[in-house]
Chain A
Amino acid sequence: MAGVWMKTIDEGEAAAAPLVEAEGEVLRLFREHGAPLYRFCRCTLARGDEAEDVVQDVFLKLLQHLRRGGGGANLRAWLFQVAANGCRDRLRGRDRWLPWRADRDRRIAGPAAEEPDRRGALAALGALGPRDRLLLSLRAQGLSYREIASAAGIRERSVGRLLARAVDRWKKRIEG
Chain B
Amino acid sequence: MACLTDADVQAVADGEAPDALGTHAAACASCRGRVDLRRIEMTELVAAAGRASPPPRLEARVREAARSAPRGATALREVRGRAIGARAIAALATAAATGAVVFLVLPRFGAPTRLSAAEVLGRSLQTLSNARGVERLEYELAFAGFGDGPHRIEQLVDHDRPTRYRIANYRADGTLESAISQDPAAGRRWHLIRVDGRNYIFELAAGRTPFVSLPELAEAQVEAIIGMMEATANQNLSIVDTAEGRQYVVQMPAAPPHATKALLDLYQARAVIDANDFHIAEFSATGTLLRQPYAVTFKLIRRTLQPAAGVAPGAFALEPGPDDVVLHGEATNDPLFDVLGTVLREVGRTKDR
Q: Are B16 and A109 in contact (CB under 8 A)?
A: no
Q: A56-B58, A98-B199 known; A109 and B150 CB under 8 Å?
A: yes
| Contact mask for chain A residues 119-148; partner B; CB cutoff 8 A; 1 contact, 0 none | 001100100000000001101110011000
> In the complex, A67 Cα to B81 Cα: how many Å?
29
CB nearest neighbor in B for A58: B62
Q: Which residues of chain B come closer than 8 Å to A140, judged between CB atoms?
A: 45-46, 48-49
How many chain-A residues does the 8 Å CB contact rule pick out?
Answer: 65
One of B71-79, B85-93, B115-123, B211-219 at the interface: B71-79
CB nearest neighbor in A for B6: A164
Q: Is the interface of B mostly helix, strand, loop or mixed?
A: mixed
CB nearest neighbor in B for A97: B176
CB nearest neighbor in A for B61: A56
Q: Is the interface of A mostly helix, strand, loop or mixed?
A: helix
Q: Are B80 and A52 in contact (CB under 8 A)?
A: yes
Counting chain B CB atoms within 10 Å of each CB, the highest count among A47, A55, A109 belongs to A109
Q: State how many angstroms separate the Cβ of A144 from the closest Cβ of chain B.
A: 7
Q: Are A47 and B49 in contact (CB under 8 A)?
A: no
Q: Which residues of chain A come closer than 8 Å to B148, judged between CB atoms?
A: 47-49, 111
Q: State how many angstroms separate the Cβ of B150 from the closest Cβ of chain A.
A: 6
> In the complex, A171 Cα to B80 Cα: how many Å?
36
> In the complex, A144 Cα to B16 Cα: how many Å?
8
Q: Which residues of chain B come closer than 8 Å to A53, judged between CB atoms?
A: 77, 80, 196
Q: State how many angstroms separate the Cβ of A108 from the closest Cβ of chain B.
A: 5
Q: Which residues of chain B come closer than 8 Å to A42, judged between CB atoms?
A: 50, 52
Q: A31-B59, A49-B148, A163-B10 known; A63 and B66 CB under 8 Å?
A: yes
Which of A27, A64, A109, A118 is the one whose CB lies under 8 Å from B48? A118
Q: Which residues of chain B come closer than 8 Å to A160, judged between CB atoms?
A: 7-8, 10-11, 14, 16-17
Q: Which residues of chain B come closer than 8 Å to A94, judged between CB atoms?
A: 175, 197
One of A2-10, A77-85, A99-107 at the interface: A99-107
List B residues 52-109 near A (Cβ within 8 Å).
52-55, 57-59, 61-63, 65-67, 69, 71, 73, 75, 77-78, 80-81
Q: A59-B62, A59-B65 known; A164 and B7 CB under 8 Å?
A: yes
List A residues 54-89 near B (Cβ within 8 Å).
55-57, 59-60, 63-64, 67, 89
Q: Are A52 and B54 in contact (CB under 8 A)?
A: yes
Assuming A52-B58, A100-B168, A161-B10, what are 11 further A-B pairs, CB within 8 angstroms?
A34-B62, A42-B52, A55-B62, A59-B66, A60-B75, A96-B199, A97-B175, A108-B174, A136-B45, A140-B46, A160-B14
The 6 closest A-B CB pairs, nearest first, are A93-B197, A140-B49, A121-B48, A164-B10, A38-B54, A161-B7
